[in-house]
Amino acid sequence: MPILHDYDPIDADPKTKRLAKTEGLGSVTMCGCGTISLNVQTTSIRLDLQAFAQLLLLCSDAMDVLEAMARLVPQPDAVPFIH
């Protein structure tokens, strides 16, 4: 019997556990074989635990850069108050 990796893995395999879920965005599930699925809207990415951990760090690094870039752009509400 083939290992199931359907879009809705919770219904497809009772051994699949939902690790987290955000309404309107998606979920993270873990299959009985240890594969982690990142389910975002209509797309599902399957990763092993190490790759999933690396993905978190990758996204964190990208967010740090985005925040640094945002600090470099003058913000409308950052105009200094003049007495």
Cross-strand partners of 17: 30
- Part of the chain binding Zn ion (CB under 5 A), chosen from 21-29, 35-43, 49-57, 66-74: 35-43
**31 belongs to the binding site for Zn ion (CB under 5 A):** yes
* C-alpha closest to that of 5 among 35, 27, 49: 35
**3 belongs to the binding site for Zn ion (CB under 5 A):** yes
From 19, 33, 59, 62, residue interacting with Zn ion (rule: CB under 5 A) = 33
How far CA 28 is from CA of 1, 10, 25, 41, 57, in Å, comes to 24, 10, 11, 12, 16
Residue 29 CB, nearest distance to Zn ion (Å)? Answer: 10
**Angle at the Cα of 33 from the Cα atoms of 28 and 38, rounded to 5 degrees:** 20
Residue 20 CB, nearest distance to Zn ion (Å)? Answer: 18
> Which lies closer to Zn ion via its Cβ, residue 3 or residue 62?
3
Residues at the site binding Zn ion, with contacts judged by CB under 5 A? 3, 31, 33, 35
